[in-house]
Amino acid sequence: MQPSLKTIATLFALFAAVPALAAPHDNMPQFAVTGKIAGPDGFWDLLAVDTQLHRLYVGHGDRVTSVDLDSGKVTPKLLGGEHVHAAIPLSGGRVLATNGDTNTATVADGATGKLIATIPTGKDPDNAIPDPASGLILVMDHEGGDVTFIDPETLTSPGRLDVGGELEQGAATGTGKVFVNLEDKNQVAVIDTKTRKVAAYYKLPGCEGPTGLAYDAKTDLILSACGNETAVVLHASDGSVVTSLKIGKGPDGAIFDPARNLFFVPCGRDGVMDVIAMEDGALKVVASVPTAVGARTATLDPNTGKIYLPTADFDFKNAQPGKRPTLVPGSFRILVVSEKS
C-alpha cells in the first residue's frame, strides 16, 4: 500500500533511533547490501521479479519501472499508471500493474510497455498475486474490501469476492488457498479459489495493522508482519498461533525463501531487514540486516537468492506540517541484498 501522509509522518519520525541489530548466528547465512540500482524519482510500493525473463518490475507512482537484471539496464517508465501499487509478471513476457487512483489493472508487454488491456477492479487495487491452482490472478482491493479475480489468458475478470476490510499482501499455497491480511481488522482471510468464497478468518492476537504476509509450504505456516513491531506466525491449516516475534518498525512486506528456509521482513522506519529462521525447534529473529530508512517492501529473485528493496531519501528538514515530505532529488535506488561469500 502506498503510504498516507499520516503514515509517512509517523513512519519516519524516529528514524534516527535505530535499535541494536540482532547478531547473526554462526550457522545461518549472513546478508548485506551488495549493490544499488539507481532509478527515477518518485514514490514506490510493491515489486516483483520475472524469473523467466530475469526482469524486475517496480510499482513506482505514475509508472512501472523495470530493470534488466542481466544487463542492469533500467527502463524508467516502462508503463504509465495512476498510483501504481504492484507490478507482477504474467506468462508470455507480459506485466500486470494495479492502479489505485483509476481502480484498474493494466496489462502490457514487459519488453516494450505496449498496453494490451485495461481491466476494471474494485476500489484502490493494491497487491496482486497469481494462484497456481485456479490459474487466476487475485487483486487485493485495499479500500473496496474485495478481491478482483483476473483471467490472465482472456484478460477479463470473472468476478469479485467481498472479503471485507482493508486488504493488504496475500500469499497462495498452490493448492487452492490464498491468505490475505486485513489491515484494519488484524485478521487473515482464507480464500478458497476453487469455490471463490472466504473459507475462514484467522485472528492475529497482539498484531496491529498487518501488511506483509508470507507462506512456508514445507511447514504450512503463515507469517504476518504487523505495524506494532510484531510478527505473528499461524498454522495455515486452522489459524492457531505458533509464535509472536518482535521485529523492527514500519514493515510493509514479507518474503519466504524456500531454498534457505528463511523469512525476511523489511522494516522501513528502522532501515533493517529482519531474518527469521527455525532454530532449536522455534522460530527466531536470527539477524537484522542494515538496509536504509524507507526500505519497507522487498522481493526475492529465487534464481539468484538476491533480494531487492526500493527506497529513497526524505527531506524531513523542510517538511511542512500535515504534508508529505518530499523526496531528495536523485536519491531513489533499489538496494540489492545478497548472501555474504
For 260, half-sphere exposure in the C-beta direction (CA atoms, 13 angstrom radius) is: 24
Residue 16 has pLDDT above 90, yes or no: no
Percent of the chain residues topping a pLDDT of 90: 86
Bigger pLDDT: 21 vs 122: 122
How many CA within 13 A on the CB side of residue 186?
13
Higher pLDDT, 39 or 8: 39
Nearest alpha-carbon partner for 113 in 101, 138, 92, 95: 95
* For residues 28-57, average pLDDT: 96
pLDDT class of 323 with cuts at 50, 70, 90: confident
The per-residue pLDDT for range 149-200, each reduced to its tens digit, is 999 999 999 999 999 999 999 999 999 999 999 999 999 999 999 999 999 9
The confidence band for 318, taking pLDDT boundaries of 50, 70 and 90, is confident
In which band, very low, low, confident or very high, does the pLDDT at 1 lie, cut at 50, 70 and 90? low
In angstroms, the CA 112 to CA 138 distance is: 24
Q: Quick one: CA dihedral 319, 325, 330, 334, positive or negative? A: positive
For residues 5-34, give the mean pLDDT.
Answer: 56
The three grid cell numbers given for residue 19, joined into one nine-digit string: 535499535
Residue 25 pLDDT class (50, 70, 90 cuts): low
Q: Say yes or no to pLDDT of 307 above 70.
A: yes
Residue 297 has pLDDT above 90, yes or no: yes
Q: Any idea what the Cα angle at residue 121 is, between residues 116 and 127, rounded to 5°?
A: 90
Per-domain residue ranges of the chain: 1-43+208-341
Residue that has been written with the C-alpha cell 506483509 in this structure: 212
Residue with more model confidence, 216 or 321: 216
Write b or e for each residue in 98-132: b if 16 or more Cβ atoms lie within 10 A of its Cβ, otherwise e: bbbebbbbbbbebeebeeebebebbebbbbbbbbe
Instruction: Report, as an integer, the average pLDDT of 53-79.
Output: 97
The one-letter amino acid at 304: T
Q: How far apart are CA 301 and CA 303, in angstroms?
A: 5
**The pLDDT value given to residue 294:** 95
Q: Which residue has the higher pLDDT, 145 or 20?
A: 145
CB 3 within 8 A of CB 11: yes
Longest dimension (CA), the chain: 52
Instruction: Answer whether residue 13 shows pLDDT above 50.
Output: no
Number of Cβ within a 10 Å radius of residue 61: 20
The pLDDT tens digits for 85-124 are 999 999 999 999 999 999 999 999 999 999 999 999 999 9
